[in-house]
């Protein structure tokens, strides 16, 4: 599988198989033939366990042959086009080759849009996407809204960087989405693609950190993959409510050198006036001090960090990120000593810390030499020698840094065991029912993991208990344990736990009852000062009374000391499982309380002041009269049949109805079918609850029908009585005159409002409207007629003025042969065909009106128009436009200002 060094389904199971096989082969109680037979049976039982691989094969109707490869733009829709175009190397997908005939109705969206594996393939196999990870790079340590966004015009930018989206120079991977098909949830596909993605990022050297945002319930999931919970995120993407997760890897030696030297060369300018200070900054940087105002070119107060500061910061971060063994609980201290060899771990961290101090010493020495350098060549050689010695020290840390990175990855996968809380420790031979008991009381699915413990949690009396399963450790005699197993058992000695030793009374586990008793006797010394319970499991197959008297006596001998209790249960039928859990939790709780009371009591029996203060603040309310009030469970709930998905007679749940009608996103849940109304037929009435921001029920009258009937009866009665019958009103002449004047006033008001709107609309415009245009004489006559003025004399005088001959050449054509020689120009009729014929024989006459002054009444209006014209021209003058149609774009980066190298000359222009 691409991107994975080992198969995630085979690591843990192979390790577990080797341990179990070794336990069988080295047994001295059985002969070789019986051991071989039992070994085969044990392997078959282990293969039938509910592992992630088994769950995955049950979920898929076709063989799971995964292929992890980078995503391309052809694998998704346009919503991911930007991220897969800008940074396709950061996106990964899990594909599986599927033959459509083997799908068996497994209808999913990715299968319908899958692409053929090969052209013209006989079986028509396609490549189906099962899970994917899409990410970009960012400059910060956490994911922000700008990182989740993308530039809207990214197609037109031609690769130029924007303020949002993918940042090519960033060294942090921002994961945008991790998606797995809903049918494959809980099958380990997400864990597989996360592991492959982190491995690929580690090998490709694309980034130093991986960051993402997730919801509250997924924080623990990503912590198990090595991420660190930074805190609540400030990102409001998708409504907010996110948590920041960050994973920082341990850099390799060559990566350290590349990052340090590239940052040093990239971030420092060359300043000839300060050669000595310039190369000193390359070797080491000095922070600015608050008691002095820094100068612009004073290198002693420059805030940047370079070679020595970068090395010190990175090495210090590595050393401080690992736990200090002396500060840890004895359980974790012994566990880390077993897994990683405490001496090797301390030596690796010590080498890193020593390298950090040596680099600081080298920096101090060469800074002292640079102060007395006499030339540019000397400064360059001293800088080269200093950086070379630092790089040599980093190269020597190749193996320690690789070891620390492996320790970091393994620490993230260890189970979370709290050594101070209430703990139940489960022990016994393989296949005696330990995992079944853990699943029954914790509802946890115990997978096969590459470590010795599995932790589940349960609640009893509102208190949290942790249950630790010990596969591969406490399942064979003490004399057959190797050094690592003995150290693991020693680590368990630091837990204040109640030990549950399971015995298969039916002997179906492959071990005799006598061998199981001998195992308990051999490891019993390890349980000193602990509560021990022997649980007889599989009582549904064989009871204690069905055993032979010798075996009954053997089991009774285990409890003779009085420190061991004998309990009975059957994990298959759940008989006695809850009784065992309640009894053990009650005993453990009472023991812990008594120990704390004993610790707070002096040697003479007096209660200490601290215990007295604590007891005074604690009050536990109890029922009066000493009555014990048990939890009440209705009989209907007790008799309720357990839901089984494979049972054809099971209860039909809303989930079953949803899957039968297309699944989530297709089926719409009917929320009205459970409405409790007076009439069930009202459930689907199309009456909104809220309309125009008001509650419709507030305006509904239940007695509206009765009130409407009473109102109709009243109307009929009034009509019969003649209430609405009356003589028609006859208006007099004065009333009609008043109405006409009112209508005239309303029309006049409308005209005034329209004229005011027109004046207001032209208030801020640059062009002055032509208000002084010549109006026809007919408009004057109409206006005077409305006012009651005789216009006959005015019309004769106007026509006489028009008919007077002018001194100069007439601009208009003579009208001597027209039908109406006395008509005015403004009221002239249409030209005769003879006139139209003459007008076509020559060019159109030029108007004799000055258009710049036409429409301007006086000098004040003319000056205002000129000011407005200059104001409208100001923007074009500022942008050096030649006119309103000029759209020329000058050079954005003039070549004479942005070309050439920054040599040893002046640097005033940048």
Q: pLDDT-based confidence at 749, cuts 50/70/90? A: very high
CA dihedral 480, 481, 482, 484 (to 10 degrees): 180
Burial class for 39, CB neighbours closer than 10 Å (0-12, 13-18, 19+): middle
Model confidence at 28, in pLDDT bands (50, 70, 90)? very low
Please compute the mean of the pLDDT values over residues 184-193 and round it to a whole number: 82
β-strand 172-180 against 115-116: which pairing, if any?
unpaired
Average pLDDT over every residue of 267-289: 61
For residues 777 and 795, the answer to whether their CB atoms sit within 8 Å is yes
Residue 357 pLDDT grade (very low, low, confident, very high; cuts 50, 70, 90):
very high
Q: Check residue 586 and give its pLDDT.
A: 92
- Map out the domains of the chain with their CATH numbers: 50-249 (3.40.630.30), 254-410 (1.20.120.1190), 420-616 (3.40.50.300), 634-703 (no CATH)
In total, the chain counts a number of residues equal to 910
pLDDT at residue 298 is higher than 80: no
Confidence of residue 350 (pLDDT cuts 50, 70, 90): very high
* pLDDT band (50, 70, 90) for residue 25: very low
CA neighbor of 570 nearest in space, from 560, 579, 559: 579
Angle CA 44–50–54, to nearest 5: 85
pLDDT of residue 356: 92
| pLDDT tens column, 208-261 | 889 999 988 888 888 888 888 888 988 888 778 889 988 887 777 877 787 777
Q: pLDDT-based confidence at 195, cuts 50/70/90?
A: confident
Q: What are phi and psi of 694, to 5 degrees?
A: -125, 150
pLDDT of residue 348: 92
Q: What is the pLDDT of residue 809?
A: 52
pLDDT of amino acid 26: 40
Return the pLDDT at 40. 65
Mean pLDDT of the chain: 76
Closest CA to 369 of 356, 390, 386: 386
CB 276 within 8 A of CB 371: yes
Q: Binning pLDDT at 50, 70 and 90, where does residue 620 land?
A: confident
| Tokens (6 digits) for 719 | 């009509």
What is the pLDDT at residue 21?
Answer: 40
Residue 746 has pLDDT above 90, yes or no: yes
**Nearest partner of 818 among 800, 836, 801, 806, judged by Cα:** 836
Q: Comparing C-alpha atoms, which of 52, 54, 123, 133 is closest to residue 90?
A: 133
Q: Which of 49-53, 667-671, 777-781 has the highest mean pLDDT?
A: 667-671
Is the pLDDT confidence value at 300 over 70? no
Percent residues over pLDDT 90 in the chain:
7
Chain centre to alpha carbon of residue 261: 34
Burial 474-501 (b: 16+ CB within 10 A, else e): bbbbbeebeeebeebbbbbeebbbbbbb
Minimum mean pLDDT range among 252-261, 544-553, 581-590, 784-793: 252-261
Alpha carbon 62 to chain centroid distance?
Answer: 31
Q: Which pLDDT band, with edges at 50, 70 and 90, does 5 fall under? A: very low
604 has a pLDDT exceeding 80:
no
pLDDT (tens digit, 9 = 90+) per residue, 404-455? 998 888 888 777 888 888 989 888 888 888 888 888 888 666 554 444 567 7
Confidence band (pLDDT; 50, 70, 90) for 825?
A: very low
> What digits encode the pLDDT tens for the residues 841-864?
555 555 556 666 667 778 888 888
Question: In the prediction, which pLDDT does 73 show?
Answer: 53
* pLDDT at 296 > cutoff 50: no
Give the pLDDT of residue 736. 86
pLDDT at 717: 92
Q: What pLDDT sits at residue 821?
A: 43
Where residue 47 falls among pLDDT bands split at 50, 70, 90?
low
- pLDDT band at residue 601 under the 50/70/90 scheme: confident
Question: pLDDT tens across 154-187, in order?
Answer: 776 655 556 788 888 888 899 988 888 887 887 8
The pLDDT value recorded for residue 818 is 45
Other C-beta atoms closer than 10 Å to the C-beta of 654 total 10
Give me the mean pLDDT over the 298-325 stretch: 71
- What is the C-alpha to C-alpha distance for residues 120 and 98, in angstroms, rounded to an integer? 15
Residues 6+ apart with CB under 8 A from 463: 422, 585, 589
As a whole-number percent, the residues of the chain with pLDDT over 70 amount to 73
Euclidean distance between CA atoms 139 and 161, whole angstroms = 12
Lowest mean pLDDT among 230-234, 250-254, 272-276, 486-490: 272-276
Q: Which residue has the higher pLDDT, 455 or 292?
A: 455
436 vs 31 pLDDT, higher one: 436
> Between residues 448 and 316, which one has the greater pLDDT?
316
pLDDT digits (tens, 9 = 90+) for 878-910: 777 777 778 787 777 878 777 776 666 555 554
Q: What local confidence, expressed as pLDDT, does residue 4 receive?
A: 32
> Which range has the top average pLDDT, 11-15, 544-548, 814-818?
544-548
Which residues have a Cβ under 8 Å from the Cβ of 183 and sit 6 or more positions away? 59, 106, 108
Predicted local confidence at residue 742, as pLDDT: 93
Confidence of residue 131 (pLDDT cuts 50, 70, 90): confident
Is the pLDDT at 519 greater than 80? The verdict is: yes
Q: Give the tokens for residue 525.
A: 């010394």
- Please check whether residue 742 is in contact with residue 763, taking contact to mean a CB–CB distance below 8 angstroms: no
């Amino acid at each position: 599988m691409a991107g994975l060094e080992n198969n995630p389904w085979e690591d843990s199971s192979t390790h577990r198989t080797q341990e179990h096989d070794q336990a069988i082969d080295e047994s001295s109680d059985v002969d070789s033939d019986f051991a071989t037979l039992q070994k085969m049976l044990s392997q078959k039982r282990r293969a039938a366990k509910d592992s992630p691989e088994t769950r995955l094969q049950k979920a898929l109707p076709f063989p799971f042959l995964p292929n992890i490869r980078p995503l391309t733009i052809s694998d998704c829709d346009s919503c991911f086009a930007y991220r897969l175009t800008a940074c396709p190397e950061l996106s990964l997908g899990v594909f599986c080759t599927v033959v459509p005939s083997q799908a068996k109705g497994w209808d999913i969206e990715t299968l319908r849009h899958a692409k053929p594996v090969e052209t013209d393939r006989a079986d028509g196999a396609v490549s189906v996407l099962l899970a994917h990870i899409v990410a970009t790079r960012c400059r910060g340590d956490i994911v922000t809204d700008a990182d989740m966004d993308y530039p809207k015009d990214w197609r037109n930018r031609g690769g130029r960087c924007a303020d949002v989206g993918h940042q090519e120079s960033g060294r942090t991977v921002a994961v945008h989405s991790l998606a797995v098909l809903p049918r494959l949830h809980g099958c380990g596909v997400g864990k597989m693609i996360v592991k492959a993605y982190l491995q690929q990022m580690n090998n490709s050297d694309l980034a130093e950190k991986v960051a993402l945002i997730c919801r509250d319930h997924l924080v623990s999931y990503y912590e198990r993959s090595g991420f660190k919970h930074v805190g609540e995120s400030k990102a409001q993407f998708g409504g907010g409510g996110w948590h920041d997760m960050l994973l920082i890897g341990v850099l390799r030696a060559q990566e350290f050198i590349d990052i340090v030297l590239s940052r040093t060369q990239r971030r420092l300018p060359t300043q000839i006036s300060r050669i000595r200070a310039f190369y000193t900054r390359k070797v080491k940087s000095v922070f600015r001090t608050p008691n002095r105002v820094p100068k612009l070119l004073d290198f002693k107060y420059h805030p940047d960090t370079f070679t020595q500061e970068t090395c010190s910061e990175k090495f210090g971060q590595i050393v401080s990120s690992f736990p200090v063994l002396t500060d840890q609980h004895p359980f974790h201290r012994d566990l880390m000593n077993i897994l990683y060899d405490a001496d090797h771990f301390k030596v690796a961290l010590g080498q890193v810390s020593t390298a950090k101090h040596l680099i600081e010493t080298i920096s101090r020495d060469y800074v002292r030499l640079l102060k007395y350098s006499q030339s540019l060549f000397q400064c360059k050689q001293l800088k080269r020698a200093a950086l070379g010695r630092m790089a040599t020290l980093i190269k020597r840390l190749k193996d320690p840094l690789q070891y620390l990175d492996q320790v970091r990855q393994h620490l993230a996968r260890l189970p979370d065991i709290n050594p101070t809380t209430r703990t139940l420790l489960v022990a016994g031979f393989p296949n005696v029912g330990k995992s079944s008991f853990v699943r029954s009381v914790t509802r946890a699915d115990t997978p096969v993991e590459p470590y010795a413990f599995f932790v589940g949690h349960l609640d009893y009396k509102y208190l949290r208990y942790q249950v630790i399963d010990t596969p591969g450790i406490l399942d064979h005699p003490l004399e057959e344990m190797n050094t690592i197993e003995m150290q693991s058992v020693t680590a368990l000695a630091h837990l204040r736990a109640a030990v549950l030793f399971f015995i298969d009374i039916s002997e179906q586990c492959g071990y005799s009852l006598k061998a199981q008793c001998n195992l308990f006797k051999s490891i019993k010394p390890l349980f000193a000062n602990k509560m021990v319970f022997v649980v007889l499991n599989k009582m549904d197959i064989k009871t204690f009374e069905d055993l032979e008297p010798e075996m009954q006596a053997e089991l009774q001998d285990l409890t003779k000391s009085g420190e061991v209790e004998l309990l009975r249960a059957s994990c298959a039928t759940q008989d006695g499982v809850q009784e065992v859990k309640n009894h053990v939790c009650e005993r453990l709780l009472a023991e812990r309380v008594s120990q704390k009371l004993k610790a707070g009591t002096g040697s003479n029996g007096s209660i200490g002041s601290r215990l007295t203060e604590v007891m005074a603040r604690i009050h536990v309310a109890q029922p009066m009269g000493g009555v014990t009030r048990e939890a009440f469970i209705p009989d209907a709930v007790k008799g309720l049949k357990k839901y089984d998905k494979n049972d054809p007679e099971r209860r039909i749940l809303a989930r079953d109805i949803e899957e039968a009608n297309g699944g989530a996103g297709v089926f719409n849940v009917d929320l009205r079918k459970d409405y409790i109304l007076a009439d069930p037929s009202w459930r689907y009435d199309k009456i909104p609850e809220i309309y125009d921001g008001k509650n419709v029920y507030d305006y509904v009258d239940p007695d509206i029908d009765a009130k409407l009937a009473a109102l109709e009866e009243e109307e009929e009665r009034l009509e019969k009585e003649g209430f609405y019958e009356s003589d028609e009103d006859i208006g007099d002449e004065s009333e009609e005159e008043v109405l006409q004047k009112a209508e005239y006033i309303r029309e006049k008001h409308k005209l005034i409002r329209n004229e005011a709107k027109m004046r207001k609309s032209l208030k801020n415009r640059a062009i002055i409207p032509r208000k002084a245009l010549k109006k026809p004489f007919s408009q004057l006559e109409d206006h005077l007629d409305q006012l009651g003025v005789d216009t006959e004399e005015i019309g004769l005088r106007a026509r006489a003025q028009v008919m007077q001959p002018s001194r100069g050449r007439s601009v208009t054509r003579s009208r001597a042969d027209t039908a109406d020689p006395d008509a005015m120009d403004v009221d002239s009729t249409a030209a005769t065909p003879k006139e139209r014929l003459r007008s076509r024989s020559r060019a159109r006459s030029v108007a004799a009106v000055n258009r710049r002054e036409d429409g301007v009444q006086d000098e004040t209006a003319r000056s205002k128009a000129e000011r407005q014209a200059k104001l409208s021209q100001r923007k074009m003058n500022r942008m050096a436009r030649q006119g309103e149609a000029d759209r020329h774009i000058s050079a954005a980066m003039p070549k004479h200002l942005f070309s050439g190298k920054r040599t040893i000359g002046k640097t005033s222009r940048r």
